[in-house]
Chain A
Amino acid sequence: MFKLVKRLTSVVAMFAVLFTFTTETMAAKKSKTLKNTQKKGFVRCGVSQGLPGFSNADAAGNWTGVDVDVCRAVAAAVLGDASKVKFTPLSAKERFTALTSNEIDILSRNTTWTLSRDADIGLTFVGVNFYDGQGFMVRKNSGISSVNDFKAGVSACTNLGTTTELNMRDFFNSKGIKYEPVTFEKADEVVAAYDAGRCDTYTTDKSGLAAQRIKLSNPDDHMVLPETISKEPLGPVVRQGDSVWEDIVRWSLNTMIEAEEYGVTSANADSMKTSDNPAVKRLVGAEGELGAALGLDNEWSLRIIKQVGNYGESYKRNIADTGILPDRGPNQLWTKGGILYVPPAR
């Protein structure tokens, strides 16, 4: 009798092991990145070296920003805890190599989505979490009030290895202005050189200009020109060739945006389980089996909303309340005059 119980338990245990093994391998078989992330217990996320509002570390080493929140959302979905993220600060120059060489699993670092980056160098862009455009910052007393006031010989400070360098050339060439590009590897040095008067203008994405302006010695002496000279859709990037991981990151971001659309916030997410709207119920995991398709449980999206919040909360916390860009501009929901429009989660 005792022997039989022992044998039975071992059989049950064996099945249990086999079962967990198979459920694990279902997702894991499809995605090496997902498997490794679950094994390690944290999401490896590449961020900037300090861009307030997007990814910035405070004195205690806590990272905040809208780019950081994308990684936190993935951690909440995959590991159940938004704090289980290991952030790697990367320069513009290092970022893609870090991703393709397996140092990080998500690159969420105000990176512009372009065809050559998406197609040519082993990367896949999963979406847009900030619609931006390149602008110019000048000294208020310079009398320059529009990009048309620039004259030949103007010197422009910017970051090395960015689309900014290319747009700048296109822009000045189209105006027939000979300019002097001064490119630094780190943003802090760009700010320091512009501040010292080395350059007449500082050019980068407008969100970046707004964020970096705070670091100048007299922020009020400087202003961003009204014109936008390029499209800069910024979004998270993953390695090519792991479509399950790609889907997880894409839908983690989409969940945040869709949650805002349906008015689901970190505060009311639990109570939304009993909503009358099936779309809302799907979003908080009370209906449908959407998680399984991604190799996750059904509460994945609920955890994102509860732990990180919806896109609007993230924007308000990181960008609006910090005074960087109080006006959401194009980064408003399509229902409210912006261009944030994500495919439905169903």
Chain B
Amino acid sequence: MENRGITFGYGFLSQESSFDVQFSLIEYDGSHSYFRAYLVGLLNTILVSVIGIIFATIIGVVVGIARLSSNYLIERTAAIYVEFFRNIPLLLQIFFWYFAALRALPLPEKAEPMFGVFFLTIKGFFVPAFVWNNLDIFIYSVIAAIISIVFVRLYAKKKQENRGIQTPVLSISIGLLIILPLLSFLLGGVSASIEIPVIEQLSQTSFTYKGGLKLPPELISLALALSLYTATFIAECVRAGVQGVSKGQKEAAASIGLTPNQVLKLVVMPQALRIIIPPTTNQYLNLTKNSSLAAAIAYPDLVLVFAGTALMQTGRAIEIVSITMLTYLTLSITISIFMNWYNKKIAIKEK
């Protein structure tokens, strides 16, 4: 490296970045450091991955079960969807959703409001936003509620093991989740109002919306493409899992008088999940890594912001690429540790 006149060091991370990013979950502009820009990219990557994983799982499970339907039409539709979407390269799908959707979406001034307050336009999806007072107290109350729910559950489990008494854990949990944040409103001085997007004129022919929350079209099309693509693989995992449970199990369950719902919930699903989880973990990892294709359509993810703009402005290729690789590695390992934990939890426990 010295031969080529390249210096090495991570000191640049604290320098002023001097470039802006269109969409950020934390406060950021060019006067912040490169490290902050890295966080912006990382959070955007996590955001699109989480949205993608949630939707891919929902669509995947629905389609996977639809493929097992005895209704010919539903089964065929699901099969066609799976074969169509999993056999087209992801990048093409991203371009399709982005540019096709961009051309199909209306300009801000022509957008028809949905329910009067949502505006889906070429410049983004404008939704009403909450304007908070003392948001931090509210967040603490939610965290406190979650922690107390965990303790209640542990206590209930112990009680059942020791004394055989069941506790209505679900209603207690929901109660806690409502009461504690509510208390923060009543006692903690938290208040929230809703801000609705209002159209604003920028020039004779160009408009935008002001106020409310804006989801950029890049995020929407990327999340859409990732979920639709990954859902096909998850659907196949689900189908394989359900079909992997031997027919005899279902028949045996039915013969002891369980209803079809109970058969699915108590007999088939627990066994199917053991087959479904490991390959689905792979799909979650793939989705997270595939989110790096965001750079093609201007969604400011880690690759675009950090391994793109920041790399170009500093020229520190080795440092930035190494950080980016480590970050993806950490993300992937975190996901697989979580999924392995979940897999162990639902695995057969031999006593």
Contact = CB atoms under 8 A, between A and B. Distances in A.
A130 B30 CA distance: 29
B125 interface: no
A151 B203 CA distance: 8
A243 interface: no
Given A165-B19, A173-B30, A183 B298 contact: yes
Interface in B1-30: 3-7, 18-22, 30
B43 interface: no
B102 A93 contact: no
Contact of B102 (A96, A153, A184, A196): A196
Contacts of A120: 7, 314-315
A109 interface: no
Contacts of B22: 155, 180-183
Which range contains the number of B residues in contact with the other chain? 35 or more
A100 interface: yes
Contacts of B20: 165, 168-169, 179, 181
Interface stretch (B112-120, B205-213, B224-232, B259-267): B205-213
A196 B203 contact: no
A262 B118 CA distance: 66
Contact of A183 (B5, B6, B205, B304): B304
Interface residues of A, number: 51
Interface stretch (A142-150, A227-235, A274-282): A142-150
B312 A162 contact: yes
Contacts of B315: 96, 116-117, 120-123
Contacts of B7: 120
Interface string B176-220: 000000000000000000000000101111101010000011100
Contacts of B4: 100, 122, 239-241
B203 A143 contact: yes
A139 interface: yes
Nearest to B295: A185
B243 interface: no
Given A142-B205, A153-B210, A154-B202, A196 B308 contact: no
Contacts of A100: 4, 6, 317
11 contacts: A121-B6, A139-B205, A142-B204, A165-B309, A166-B313, A168-B20, A181-B20, A184-B297, A192-B99, A197-B107, A198-B102
